[in-house]
Structure 1
């Protein structure tokens, strides 16, 4: 049966995803940045409270995936911390200036992550040559690649996802970006082994008092009394589709 990974931005979302039947969680902070490394407090509490596998993302900032020496040093520190906490895996990715997998740094990542399952995230979708990148990541020993098939959405990238799955002799090809209940069956029909989804909804703040004319966001038009949360009903429905597909096979 295909596995369902849910992207969670915080403790409550992680608990919701677990209770609704998720197989694994990618734990992140900062959804508007596309996911950054969670805080130490969040990492500690999630490890205490969630029993299904959780893989924190290691990403020090938004933007591209070509990091300075100091940024990379910080990433190695974060890897050491999540390993010390006992997390079974992590999510990471880095490219060089030419858009190729930064193999030398990834070798250091794999060494620092020994004993953990490493997912190479959607930096893969920004790389220059996906076939070469697949070969390099296979040689490095990554457990899986999270990819949209180098398209804006995984549904649009299904043809490359199929090709990658056919040629991958080791890393699991996990479809992510725009994977929803409404199109999940398409990935099942193509034999995709794992899918990654936010399965979320926007939730209004519980605050009744709302100060007008003051924003804490760089985007003055942003609605700061609204946040993105995992929808447990959607997670459960997605899991039901995957279970039904296994039963019918």
Structure 2
């Protein structure tokens, strides 16, 4: 499965037209992705047939959230449930870098039928393997988006990613993302055995956040991923 970030309706349509299998819909790519507007969510879902997972992230200050932040996230989840979206993408940490299970459970009570992806907040957790084991306990969480941790490239983190995939026991999907490129994706998939990959800036023109998705590069990437997974 090839998941691609979309920040606008044109991105979403281009992703579907050029081989993307699923969309992560966000705003503010330069800030790592924030909750998109209701209008954008509605328009994207109306115009594409592939699954759309919506980012639930109220600000980019950190992944440690106040009670008011959590209330906002719950309200956004309730909105997304009404749109026909496939899922939501979220993540919460405590100040000590552990998974914030208390607030995670509050959010999961509201996700209902939506697929849940725990995003790259896990890469900033104090112990990524232990954090992954915590997330595996929650049946509502279908996948975890990760590059294997911060401070190293995804290639350097392949041992961690392989361990996560082994621990997953096919109960939870390890979605690789953050540092993948057209050039290294084959190596990373072959080393780790990953079944899902996630791309953002790497398939945009000139590899720049604010430029359009490169349709030709996405076509090439899609063919490559489909041949490997």
Q: TM-score range by the shorter chain?
A: over 0.9
Tell me the equivalent position of 2:173: 172
2:215 counterpart of 1:232? yes
Post-superposition CA distance 1:91-135 (Å, at most 9, x none)? 000101111111111112222112111000000000011222112
Structure 2 portions without partners, runs of 5+ = none
Match of 1:98, SS state, is: coil
- Check conservation: 2:70, 2:107, Cα contact below 8 A: no
- Provide the residue aligned with 2:186 in structure 1: 185
Give the RMSD, CA atoms, in angstroms. 1.6
Aligned to 2:204: 200
Seen in structure 2, the aligned counterparts of structure 1 residues 201 and 63 have a Cα distance that, compared at 3 Å, is: farther
TM-score, normalised with respect to structure 2:
0.93
Structure 1 residues not aligned, in runs of 5+ = 205-225
**What is the CA–CA distance in structure 1 between the aligned matches of 2:166 and 2:217, rounded to whole Å?**
30
> 1:25–1:18: structure 2 CA closer, same or farther, 3 Å change rule?
same
C-alpha distance in structure 1 between counterparts of 2:205 and 2:184, whole Å: 17
Relative to structure 1, the CA distance from residue 201 to residue 75 in structure 2 (aligned partners, 3 Å threshold; closer, same or farther) is same
Counterparts of 1:227 and 1:202, CA distance in 2: 10
Aligned to 1:135: 133
Distance 2:88 2:217 in 1: 24
**Secondary structure of 1:144 counterpart:** strand
The alignment status of 1:14 with 2:12, answered yes or no, reads: yes
Q: Distance in 1 between matches of 2:210 and 2:131?
A: 35
Distance apart, 1:188 and its partner CA: 2.2
| 1:33 and 2:34 correspond | no
